[in-house]
Amino acid sequence: MKVASVLVPLPVQEAFDYAVPDDMDVTRGDQVDVPLGPRLIRGIVAEVFETTGSNRKLKSIERLSDDPRLPEGTLAFVEWAARWTLNPPGEMASRAIRGLRAPRPRPERRVRRVGMRQPQRITAPRTAVLEALKDRAMTPADLARAAEVSTGVVKGLVDEGVLEAFEVEAVAAFDPPLPDHAPSHLNPDQAASSHAMAEAAKAGGFAPFLLDGITGSGKTETYLEAAAELLKARPDAQILILLPEIALTQALIERITKRFGAAPAEWHSGVTPPRRRQVWEAVAAGRCNIVVGARSALFLPYRNLSLIVVDEEHDGSYKQEEGLVYHGRDLAVARARIENATVVLASATPSLETLWNAQQGRYRWLKLRTRHGVAVLPDISLVDLRQCPPDPQTWLSQPLREEIGANLERGEQSLLFLNRRGYAPVVLCRACGHRLTAPDTDSWLVEHRYTGRLVCHLTGFSMPKPKACPSCGAEDTLVSVGPGVERVEEEVRQLFPEARTAVFSSDTVPDGQAARELIQSMAEGEIDILVATQAAAKGHNFPHLTLVGVVDADLGLRGGDLRAAERTYQLLAQATGRAGRADKPGRALLQTWTPEHPVLEALAANDRDAFVEAEMAERDIAVMPPYGRLAALILSSENAMALEKTARDLAETIPNAERLEVYGPADAPLALVRGRRRKRMLVRADRDVNMQAFLRAWLSRVKVPASVRLTVDIDPYSFL
């Protein structure tokens, strides 16, 4: 009997076996519909084998799908990713066919000439239509535009039978990129780096690079020229460019279109489902050369993936925290290894893990140490708030106010950076001290003055701001504590009423279109002062921006976790790097209560190497990443007793292992989310310990009840 092991999207760690009907020819990577209980479910064939003498009664595969077979590289990648992250392989594999869940786009309606029939009445508009159409088929709208007439003229010819209408399946047409269309002029460092990446990609084989360039050094132009050189040598090559934020996508798409004379494919949550299906099918058929997308674009069925670029590789947004937990940067490197492709990790502030790999020679290290053209790095100064504190109930110090005023007089732009959304992060009662939190969640409610609502940024819950305290009932006692970007903008409008001011955060620009419009307004000089969260600190180029003011440089250093100092340095370096990217010099002022902090001293001195050396030494002593490995187990349940018992069972069954410690279980810092109690355990191991094998052996000893959810997070970035 021929048997197929099929990966189905269920939370189980193995494939399900099904009998293969005699008249069906299936092979690894095929998509099949298989019975599971009373329903049919789509799965992917992982293996086909012959068996004899088995007394197992297997259900049969119902049908073989007409959808394309997954390429070997894609299937090998999802299987590896499941083993590495300890996610169910069927659920991981289902990511690779998610684009096919969408309906097909509606068929296109086109018209064509019926023989040599002539209209009963000849008019100039009708003649123009026939001359524009000739022997082609066109949509009525395109034909009307080409003939410079109304669509009514086309409809009249269809009604007379001179033209006939018919429908064709809508297929996404991705024009091939033209490598010689509009090449960039690179400086010597850029040219050398671009050539090195292109040569590796053309040669084939796994080749990882770190493209380490200061803000404004032209990293994008560098890797785009490498892509052009690759496409010139291998026109069928496929290139994937990953971005951490949807807001960055459109700017890069415009640059790629300008460079290659053809738009790339787009893949992220903002793309409509029918369009995603078109992109999936085009990638699988090899009709699409360049894809720009979010981390999920790693799972597309590339036929000839030759180059992967992870732009802003340090960004925490590459970490998928819910559902299937994985890190997009790490999976990008793995996919490149499986596909024998080149992978480029690009950043002005690389993660310590990536820097360590470059220092060890695992990645080839390419450095861009000067800004493109005449631009230079901004001067960075620390404003000691102990010496010059803001006025009561304000947040901008006198030195920063003066710099903003001087910038306005010169007609230059300013950016005020505060990585805190809303108006105020905490709302409390002056009468009883109660802090307002979301229902069934420990997360504080953030006031949003624009909408008049209190919002939980963790769960999305929102409510109108109440007049009375929900705890003690006192009226008019709720006060806002601390600043958010809306509160800073309110202060700016009071100080500089003549200035054109705007706020850039995920609340004020809720979608890609709004983000593009605001970024364009800023780039064209239509905004004088932009108050922004980290949404504006990544990858944007504002040529008229010369001043960056960081309202609270200490924010990311408080409370902290393993990566607090690293994240703060990266974020502030990226934010200050928005200034002075054109012909005018830039400067940055960082307001802080702790100017002696090593992170801030390194920023002021523009000495990344000193910060990295000190931070690496601390990690080395503690045997933390990149010198060690971490994994987290997160337990959650609505049933407190079941949660406690499961945590206790896990703690009592920890396998013996050398050079490995387990901490916990302990209540998570956010111990209640959406009505579910949460506990955490943290595993630390030396770098050469097989963490995944340890976790598999451990988790196999405990049966987790259905009422308890267990999440495994390899290399955690969040400790909440």
Is 188-368 assigned to CATH 3.40.50.1100? no
379-420+483-617, CATH topology level: Rossmann fold (3.40.50)
Instruction: Kindly state which CATH superfamily the domain 2-101 is placed in.
Output: PriA, 3(prime) DNA-binding domain (3.40.1440.60)
**Model pLDDT, residue 645:** 95
Q: What is the DSSP letter of 20?
A: P
By the 8 A CB rule, do 110 and 168 touch? yes
DSSP symbols for 244-282? S-GGGHHHHHHHHHHHHSSPPEEESTTS-HHHHHHHHHH
Picking from 424, 394, 226, 377, the residue whose alpha carbon sits closest to that of residue 306 is 226
Query: In the numeric block, which tokens belong to residue 160?
Result: 């007379």
Query: In the numeric block, which tokens belong to residue 598?
Result: 């090593």
Residues 6+ apart with CB under 8 A from 170: 104, 105, 106, 107, 108, 278
By the 8 A CB rule, do 407 and 588 touch? no
Architecture label for domain 628-714: 2-Layer Sandwich (3.30)
CA–CA dist 673, 679 (Å, integer): 11
Q: What is the DSSP letter of 175?
A: P
Same fold, 2-101 and 379-420+483-617: no
Helix pair 151-160, 140-147: axis angle to 10 deg: 120
Q: Which CATH class is domain 108-168?
A: mainly alpha
Helix, strand, coil distribution of the chain in percent, nearest 5: 35, 25, 40
Query: In the numeric block, which tokens belong to residue 569?
Result: 């340095």
**Model pLDDT, residue 106:** 79
Q: What is the reported pTM?
A: 0.86
By the 8 A CB rule, do 351 and 317 touch? no
Element (H, E) at 673: strand 660-673
Picking from 431, 425, 444, the residue whose alpha carbon sits closest to that of residue 471 is 431
Q: What is the DSSP letter of 138?
A: B
How far, CA to CA in Å, does 151 sit from each of 109, 111, 126, 293, 325? 13, 12, 11, 37, 51
**Model pLDDT, residue 408:** 93
CA–CA dist 343, 306 (Å, integer): 8
Q: Parse the chain into domains and list their residue ranges.
A: 2-101, 108-168, 188-368, 379-420+483-617, 628-714
By the 8 A CB rule, do 332 and 298 touch? yes
Give the pLDDT confidence of 399-453 residue by residue, as tens digits. 999 999 999 999 999 999 998 888 888 888 888 888 888 888 888 888 887 788 8
**Model pLDDT, residue 283:** 95
Give the pLDDT confidence of 66-124 residue by residue, as tens digits. 999 999 999 999 999 999 999 999 999 999 998 888 777 778 889 999 888 888 888 99
Residue 619: alpha-carbon gap to chain centroid: 27
Low-confidence ranges of the chain (pLDDT < 50): none
**Model pLDDT, residue 518:** 85
| Overall residue count recorded for the chain in this entry | 720
How would you classify the pairing of strands 462-464 and 238-242?
A: unpaired
